[in-house]
Amino acid sequence: MAAPSETAPIVPAPSATAPALPTPSATTPSATTAGLGACGAGQVEVSGKVMSPATGHRGVELVFTLAAGASPCTLAGYPGVDSGAGGPLLHADRTPRGFMGGLPQGSDDPPTVTLRPDHPATAIVEGTAFDAAGSGCPLYTNLSVTPPNSTDTHTVTVTIDSCALHVHPVTG
């Protein structure tokens, strides 16, 4: 009988020690995303919403959602954004923040966002509606958007009048 009672304390001791280490790290964002890969082609859908204009500034909130049937994955960094129909081709400059949104002051490191069916990511595209001379800018009726670290480009039907575009990183 002495052998079984000595064995019982030995079994719980390692199992009590093992969960104590992973449990705290499982609540950190890096542990949550560690097992997930970056989103690939076909995993992300992109849509856009026009933001309310503000003192000559124009903005579009890009919304990145998990495609139906896709497994959760991660996005980090800047989406690629080019203007579509309505004027000359514009390539959005990548900036951490601007007048309409972006990363908080003091933080220039884009976060890693886990895309799940109930958890989209967003990014802001912005510009000004007037050039340096005060003339109005072209009205674009769509944007070509490529999620971060991807080559899967989507046409997003949304309007923005701007002479230059700036895009900020994806956030959760």
Which CATH number is 38-167's, of 2.60.40, 3.40.720, 1.10.3470, 2.50.20? 2.60.40
User: What pLDDT, on a 0 to 100 scale, did the predictor assign at position 30?
Assistant: 41
Instruction: Please state the rounded mean pLDDT for residues 134-157.
Output: 96
The confidence band for 9, taking pLDDT boundaries of 50, 70 and 90, is very low
Pair of tokens at residue 83? 């203007």
Are 127 and 138 within 8 A, CB to CB?
Answer: no
User: What pLDDT, on a 0 to 100 scale, did the predictor assign at position 33?
Assistant: 52
pTM of the model: 0.79
Query: What is the tens place of the pLDDT at every residue in 97-111?
Result: 999 999 999 999 999
Pair of tokens at residue 98? 């601007």
Give domain limits for the chain: 2-33, 38-167
**Sign of the alpha-carbon dihedral angle for 20, 23, 28, 29:** positive
How far is residue 52's CA from residue 100's CA, in Å, rounded to a whole number?
Answer: 9
Partner residues linked to 91 by β-bridges: 82
Pair of tokens at residue 86? 């309505």
* Averaged pLDDT of the chain: 84
